[in-house]
Amino acid sequence: MLIICRKEGLPIRDDMFYNLDLLSRQLRQAHRMAVQAELNAVGLREVGHPMLLSILESVETDQNRPCQAQRDLAELLHVSPAAVANSLKSLERSGYIRREPGRQDARRNQVILTEKGAQAVAGCQAVFYQVSSRMLDGFSPEDLQQLAQFQRRMLQNLLSPPDPHEKE
């Protein structure tokens, strides 16, 4: 069976799509496991969503942007607001964040890192760097540029609404 590639009209076998999808899932799972293993090794086992902490830290260091509301964090992470709410609840219980009413709108809670959260961010960022370095070992700068271009294009394809006039 052949599937026609959306933009170029090139035939691609459906088993190639299956293999690429499987490889993508395996890579995502292996990355998640490697990050968690490294977090465990440095005593950050209880940090449930390290990327969330890192985003909070980056927002707090940028004086032009206020602390993020939960809905904004969900959009940044491409997850549901409920998933962010659960992660924030866990991070708050563990003392990594606190929530305060918004300065301009008291109905929107701002999420703020505590000192413990700021220290965890540094550990998480070191783990991300270490895992990424291991994952990308042996790639040339040109390989990395091309990989980033492919990933940006895939992300854009998924975030763009499908063309209703396009035949599948």
Give residue-wise pLDDT tens across range 82-107. Answer: 988 888 898 899 898 888 887 777 77
Structural domain boundaries, residue 80? 48-127
Residue 156 makes CB contacts below 8 A (sequence gap 6+) with: none
Same domain, residue pair 59 and 82: yes
Number of domains the chain is built from: 2
Residue 139 pLDDT > 90:
yes
Does 66 share its domain with 120? yes
Q: Please check whether residues 30 and 100 belong to one and the same domain.
A: no
Compute the mean pLDDT over every residue in the chain, rounded to the nearest whole number: 82
Average pLDDT over residues 36-55: 84
CA distances from 153 to 9, 69, 118, 145, 162 (A): 17, 28, 33, 12, 14
Residue 148's pLDDT is 96
Percent of the chain past pLDDT 90, that is, above it, reads 32
Give the residue among 18, 58, 20, 50 at the shortest CA–CA distance from 34: 50
Whether residues 63 and 113 fall in one domain: yes
Q: Which of 10-14, 20-24, 96-100 has the lowest mean pLDDT?
A: 10-14
Residue with tokens 């409920």: 82
Q: Residue 3's beta-bridge partner residues?
A: 12
Q: Looking at residue 70, which CATH number applies to its domain?
A: 1.10.10.10
pTM, entire model: 0.69
Which two three-digit tokens encode residue 120?
A: 């965890």
Residue 28 within any structural domain of the chain: yes
